[in-house]
């Protein structure tokens, strides 16, 4: 089974922010809209996009224009003064009839003065209707194995948008254990999941903010989730890179899960800015 699928046809899409909603203390949802989104071809429930936005002080959003993979060379050749920021985000919801997309951002770092919040987190916190953005569709990693119908779904807060999208759009007969780690108990919300899904919210409630996201989920799943004898389970794990790599190692080595039944996606690295 492939572990990732990329779009075969894609181009740069321009849009603008039309709405911002503070979903909970650690999340903000931006709705973006524009006629270009008529060309967005959804591939699956954890699809991501490259999200382009202006740097501080830039009046215009200058965007690479090349389709397919040509954009990157064009992007690298842009003068630093005009080159936009770009980060990867999950498509939380897409409404083709309105050419509208929701993206849910984790707010991290010091939100009051930006601190080391990261440009995307700061942009989401301060975004206003009318802000121009760009989108370049990327692929999907949620590719359940037909031979392994039950599922184990695990993520830190950066994977919560993908996990919620997966659960909300699952077939009604899905059976799964879903572990969602979040910064605080106030980030827990109702989930519209099939009845066969057990949702385990894991709030860190770490008042010193010293814990590395994903480690609580890694520890919890490693110590409490067990593969039954003879069972095949499709596993999807995403978040800070220590979570997917650590959990995959455990599932393969200690529980005998075939590598082909695991999709593991490193979304970001603790202490390192994403390139772009």
Check residue 118 for interaction with ligand FAD (CB under 6 A): yes
Classify the phi-psi angles of 228: left when phi > 0, otherwise alpha if psi is within -120 to 50, otherwise beta. beta
Check residue 120 for interaction with ligand FAD (CB under 6 A): yes
> 239 exposed, middle or buried (CB, 10 Å; 0-12, 13-18, 19+)?
buried
Q: In the set 23, 108, 233, 244, which binds ligand FAD (CB under 6 A)?
A: 108
- Residue (63 or 103) nearer to ligand FAD, CB: 103
- Residue (23 or 225) nearer to ligand FAD, CB: 23
Check residue 89 for interaction with ligand FAD (CB under 6 A): yes
Beta bridge partner(s), residue 13: 135
Rg (CA), the chain: 19
- The 41-60 site mask, x for binding ligand FAD (CB under 6 A), equals -------x------------
- Residue (133 or 225) nearer to ligand FAD, CB: 133
Count interface residues toward ligand FAD (CB under 6 A): 27
- Mark the segment that binds ligand FAD (CB under 6 A) among 53-61, 93-101, 168-176, 265-273: 265-273
**Smallest separation, CB 132 to ligand FAD (Å):** 17
- Residue (165 or 170) nearer to ligand FAD, CB: 165
Contact between residue 87 and residue 274 where contact means Cβ atoms under 8 Å apart: yes
Angle ∠(150,215,163) on CA atoms, nearest 5: 40
- Residue (20 or 121) nearer to ligand FAD, CB: 121
- Residue (114 or 200) nearer to ligand FAD, CB: 114
Q: Among residues 92, 251, 102, which one has the least CA distance to residue 160?
A: 92
Cβ-closest position to ligand FAD: 118
Beta bridge partner(s), residue 136: 50
Cα 255 to Cα 248: distance, rounded to the nearest angstrom: 10
Check residue 269 for interaction with ligand FAD (CB under 6 A): yes
Sheet holding 132-137, edge to edge: 85-90, 48-53, 132-137, 13-24, 27-33, 100-106, 93-95
Q: In the set 39, 41, 116, 206, which binds ligand FAD (CB under 6 A)?
A: 116
Check residue 24 for interaction with ligand FAD (CB under 6 A): no
Q: What is the footprint of ligand FAD within residues 131-190 (CB under 6 A)?
A: 157-158, 161
Could you tell me the CA-to-CA distances from 218 to 59, 104, 225, 245, 257 in Å, in that order?
Answer: 43, 23, 10, 10, 16
Binding site for ligand FAD (CB under 6 A): 48, 87-90, 104-106, 108-109, 116, 118-121, 157-158, 161, 213, 267-274
């Amino acid at each position: 089974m492939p572990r990732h699928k990329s779009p075969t046809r894609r181009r740069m899409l321009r849009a603008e922010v039309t709405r911002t909603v503070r979903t909970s203390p650690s999340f903000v949802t931006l709705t973006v809209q524009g006629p270009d989104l008529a060309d967005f071809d959804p591939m699956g429930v954890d699809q991501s996009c490259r999200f382009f936005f202006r740097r501080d002080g830039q009046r215009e959003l200058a965007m690479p224009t090349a389709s397919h993979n040509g954009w990157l060379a064009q992007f690298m050749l842009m003068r630093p003064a005009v080159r936009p920021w770009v980060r990867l985000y999950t498509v939380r919801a897409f409404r083709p009839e309105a050419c509208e997309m929701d993206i849910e951002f984790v707010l991290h770092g010091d939100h009051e003065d930006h601190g080391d919040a990261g440009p995307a987190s700061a942009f989401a916190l301060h975004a206003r209707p009318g802000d121009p953005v760009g989108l370049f569709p990327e692929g999907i990693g949620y590719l359940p194995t037909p031979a392994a119908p039950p599922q184990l779904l695990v993520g830190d807060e950066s994977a919560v948008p993908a996990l919620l999208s997966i659960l909300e759009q699952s077939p009604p007969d899905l059976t799964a254990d879903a572990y969602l780690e979040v910064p605080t108990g106030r980030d827990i919300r109702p989930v519209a999941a099939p009845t066969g899904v057990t949702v385990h919210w894991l709030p860190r409630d770490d008042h010193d903010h010293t814990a590395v996201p994903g480690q609580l989920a890694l520890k919890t799943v490693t110590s409490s989730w067990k593969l039954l004898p003879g069972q095949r389970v499709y596993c999807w794990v995403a978040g800070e890179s220590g979570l997917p790599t650590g959990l995959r190692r455990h599932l393969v080595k200690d529980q005998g899960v075939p590598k082909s039944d695991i999709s593991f996606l490193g979304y970001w690295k603790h202490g390192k800015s994403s390139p772009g």
